[in-house]
Structure 1
Amino acid sequence: MQIYNTIKRPVVTEKSQKLELSWVYTVIVDPSATKVDIKNTFKRLYGVTVEAVNIIKTREKFRNTKTWASLKRKMETKALVSLKGKERISDFAKIKD
């Protein structure tokens, strides 16, 4: 997998901001990306050493109406990337697509 297609965007929420204080970064990744792909992408793009990668697959969320169910949220794959030591990625939340 190509390194620029692996990471789609960072997750910027209150919970992800708290995790960044403990050197864990949250990103939305390509659904076909493996833990090894994500680890190699962080190493090449940001020059940091990755300790662990955890993957979470969120399911679709529907909203029911009288006649049909419409899609409210698509399925996404999140990755929680733990960095080794006390390495940081500067301005991680400002990274765009």
Structure 2
Amino acid sequence: MNERLLNTIRAPRISEKTARLAESNQYVFEVASTATKADVKAAVEQLFSVKVEAVNVVNAKGKTKTFRFRSGRRSDQRKAYVRLADGQSIDVTAKA
């Protein structure tokens, strides 16, 4: 498998919002900051053996937080919302 595709998807995002999206065949992944929609589609199709219908990519800016009177900043993230074809699913809660 191509190493670039393996490095594209970092981790699945698991939250209440993503659980609701999973009911409508949408899954959310944290992806590399250089990943394109085509990269994400190819990586998901190869890794999970599913058919991807659409990919939306979002850049989430890191928050500024204060800890012990010092200001710090969380890193920026890039998320991909992946919609699968009808009848297909991914088990993102399975442990590797």
So what's the TM-score if we normalise by structure 1?
0.86
Aligned pair count reads 94
> Which residue in the other structure is 2:92 paired with?
92
Q: Which segments of 5 or more consecutive residues in structure 2 lack a partner in the other structure?
A: none
Q: Is 1:9–1:95's contact at 8 Å kept on the other side of the alignment?
A: no
In structure 1, how many angstroms separate the alpha carbons of the residues matched to 2:88 and 2:46?
Answer: 14
Structure 1 partner of 2:32: 30
Secondary structure of the residue aligned to 1:92 is coil
Partner Cα distance (1:85, 1:39) in 2:
16
CA distance in 2, matches of 1:55, 1:93: 21
Q: What SS is found at the alignment partner of 1:85? A: coil
Structure-1 separation of matches of 2:94 and 2:41: 20
Aligned-residue CA RMSD in angstroms?
1.9
The Cα offsets for residues 22-43 of structure 1, whole Å up to 9 and x where unpaired, read as 0000000001000000000111
Fraction of identical pairs, as percent:
32
Shift, 1:3, TM fit: 1.3
- CA offsets 1:54-97 (integer angstroms, 9 cap, x no match): 011100211257x75312x21000000000112011x312356x
Q: 1:33 to 1:95 in 2, by over 3 A?
A: farther
Q: Which moved more, 1:55-64 or 1:44-53?
A: 55-64
Q: 2:53 aligns with which of 51, 70, 74?
A: 51
Q: TM-score, normalised by structure 2?
A: 0.87
Give runs of ≥4 in structure 1 deviating > 6 Å.
Answer: none
